[in-house]
Structure 1
Amino acid sequence: MTLSEVPQGAWRHVADGRAAADIATAAGALLLAHRTDQEEAGADPADVRKAGDRLSHEFLAATLGRQFPGDAVLSEEGADDLARLAARRVWIVDPLDGTREFGEPGRADWAVHVAVVEEGRLVAGAVAMPALAATFSTADPFPPLPPLPAAPRVVVSRTRRPEPVTAMAGALGAELIEMGSAGAKAMAVVRGEADIYAHTGGQYEWDSAAPVAVARAAGLHVSRIDGSALHYNQENPWLPDLLICRPELADRALGVLGR
């Protein structure tokens, strides 16, 4: 689709999605190069993670400031300026989602998140998965999802499995797939490699804004676990829970999670 084919008034959001994809991809390339260089130098994984967070944050903040000088930015790694609450447009970024996985050689389940909220609405976003050489954005065309498998696949953390999520998986007779970052889990559903991503342990807006934007653009169900809408650029950026899933499974998943 070209910008001339986009309905009037929506072209800006397509352009934002493309900008988010370009910026997230570039930050991801920096992170990949940093990780390779540090691994070859035998650096401490903790130092690799810390420096990677800082490197990506500084790149994203500088790039967004240059390309969108009138917009506010909410970043996991930056000081929260509450002037963003009065801003018309706010970029919400996670410079390195899945810091633990980033510090483990060979792992690909980490991501860079870039999303934009305009007048209170999440309008565009991108999730880059640099180790997979893939970036997913709201400006992308998404192929139809494959048929659902007999047993739904639920992505879960390697280290934390909240009881509501395991109960839901059990009620649905689901297969559990372990994965790292929130972005990687959400993109597994977007890619058709999983069917449900539910999180009940609490997250921040930067953990889910870009994944939610992309998942929604791909035709997936996105909501809180009680079925209510997700809201971004709030004074307190904490979000208690999240559900991203195939629309065919939404009612069943919400029914169990809401008990």
Structure 2
Amino acid sequence: MHLDFSAVLQGQYLDWLIKGALTTLWLFATAWVCAFVLAVILVALRMLHLRPLEWLISAFVNYHRNVPGLVQIFVWYFGIPELLPAVITDFINNHNGEFIFALIAISLNSAAYMSEDLRSGMRSVAGTQLEAARALGLNYVQSMRDVLLPQAIRISVPPLVNQSLSLFKSTSLAMAIGVAEMTYSSRQIENETYRTFETFALASAFYLLMSWTIMAVGAYYNNRNLKSGER
């Protein structure tokens, strides 16, 4: 069989690829924002040095870093709904439940990794800066928001870029519960056309392009931070 990319780049197959790509990008963007916000909250809470809170956050991080992401998605999609009231479960299922549960699972998983990267960055910031900020009249939240976290984030850019790449690739796991992202759409097209190479070559090109874009954005942001630090 000769190669024929036009066979999968027309009609409904092209529509499936476009919708799959858009779903992947939307899942990545929303999961990244949720994960980053949660990671910042986890780091801020952990810096309070309250023993029970530290244990709870440590358990959260250890679970999400040591249990496969696919298992976590299955837990949320198949297990959690059984613990929720029927009204809530029905509401979620009627509003793209597969996407919602995949989003939750991927966000929590990435938040665990990002929080550790931010915590490492926080350790590189002099502890006296918190004391100085408090001495200037800033409360704990203001000190973290305006003084410590901005510095920790700048320091943590390289590992955060790596986590962003990992998060982007993890979106493909959502196909396991029926989210019509890029991998799911590619598999669907391959099943109908039997154009295995063409279909997955296009999917690979999409993932490569987006991964390079993420790395380029991260490199630009990191270089800008380095230049601003030299001034």
TM-score range, shorter chain: 0.3 to 0.5
TM-score (norm 2): 0.33
TM-score (norm 1): 0.30
Which structure has greater helix proportion? 2
Q: Which has the larger radius of gyration?
A: 2
